[in-house]
Homo-oligomer: A and B are copies of this chain.
């Protein structure tokens, strides 16, 4: 089959490097293979609501360093279950056949889907159930995708998180405080562990290692005994106490008195203050981790992934995801990736490293 035209979509949470992928897909497709690229707006939503536009070399110009995605994205649009209001209730409707028709009308020979686990699982279903030739590109700032050593976006988020830890350090020291910082990572602790190691955190709490708040306090107090009247605690949003459950950030929005129920970071901060009597402050880093210009590492990785996606298509290799193995770019079947997570192994070198350096893990 000669590929003449491909579709490209970015889906799921914002992530530095998306535009670098888009640029690499366009340049490789147009320059090397004379393939046309059709940009699909706002992830799968553009396939459902029929919003697309042609992407030429001029669209690839000047976007490499810019955060976000020029195509837009959406978190919840799923062709196999698109939310629709019926009689005042939200029901989920399978609109995948419409999507298949639209892809046909657009004359797309293949589809590049850039996203995380959810995005890639949908891509895999589009291939398996509907016969759409898809290729995936792994994106997540959490770095918890299966099948690749690293996702693009992680290095940039790590950079933002580490810079935040650096900033809190001097304040902690000047005020003799415990500073708690909650970073992203609902299921995997890569970001907290990375920022903790890179920022010189004293305690790192991750979802893979349920913690005891007493163990956190022991580290803090041991440091005080050694003359260090401050501590830095880095917490994954998905960390939780032994015997407890992951925190769910809830929102109550009915009055000016309304409250956001805090996450695990705030709970840890309160408990540490209560148990040690030390002044404690909590920072929840939030969406800052998704934004900003990508790091050079992520720009290069995203560029390599984008090129690989086109190469896979040009050589007829579908239902696969571009992946980093060691220093090489390769690909893995989407089937192996979909629905799985790459969590921090308890015997991983990063964890061993944290232990050797005397970092507390809340055990």
Contact = CB atoms under 8 A, between A and B. Distances in A.
A198 B31 contact: no
A329 B357 contact: no
Contacts of A333: none
A270 B287 contact: no
A173 B164 CA distance: 23
A36 B73 CA distance: 34
A75 to B, nearest CB: 7
B198 A296 contact: yes
A139 interface: no
Contacts of A353: 24, 300, 303-304, 307
Contact of A168 (B251, B288, B295): B288
Interface string A282-317: 111011101111011101100110010011000000
Interface of A: 10, 14, 18, 24, 27-28, 31-32, 42, 61, 64-69, 72-75, 149-150, 155, 158-160, 162-164, 166-171, 173-176, 179, 194-195, 197-200, 228, 241, 244, 251, 253, 256-262, 266-267, 270-271, 273-274, 281-284, 286-288, 290-293, 295-297, 299-300, 303-304, 307, 310-311, 325-329, 349-350, 352-353, 356-358
Given A149-B326, A357-B24, A174 B270 contact: no
Given A167-B292, A168-B287, A270 B251 contact: yes
